[in-house]
Structure 1
């Protein structure tokens, strides 16, 4: 009888593999503030072609999501729309 399986549903190998995936994703998604600001400006330029936006309340950030196996990087943008052009 494997005592480890009684207390954990994952083996140490699986846990180590998951941790390594998280580290790799973090390294790949770690954007500098300057690059994130450039992405934000590009997004605002494109969106503003179609709608009038409130640029003072725009929030763009990097986070992680579980859509793909393990955590994967995600860009989250909150862009308040004043009206459609």
Structure 2
């Protein structure tokens, strides 16, 4: 039986890399929008709760960001919430 140490340590490395990437995203978002990472996590949780009533989503693939955009009327900068939510399937809901 051969033990592949690269695979064993590679899994942890990928997970650490993902965590570091997520933390960096939160820091950048905070700098851009002056929104705390805790607030962003609360918004993310609320969005997941609401959308989960209607569809099955891939929470790992969920990407929510605050960014800046320009208002069409006067071209002034405004914050924007951008969400990329992978939908796995729609739930059967009775619409009355």
**One fold, TM greater than 0.5?**
yes
CA RMSD of aligned residues (A): 1.9
Unaligned runs of at least 5 residues, structure 2: 1-30, 92-96
Equivalenced residue count is: 59
Which gives a bigger RCO, structure 1 or 2 (Cα 8 Å, sep 6+)? 1
Find the aligned partners of 1:32 and 1:75 in 2 and give their Cα distance: 14
* TM-score of the two chains, using structure 1 as the length reference: 0.63
**Match 2:52 to one of 39, 48, 52:** 48
Larger Rg: 1
Shift of 1:32: 0.3
* TM-score of the two chains, using structure 2 as the length reference: 0.56
4+ runs deviating over 6 angstroms: none
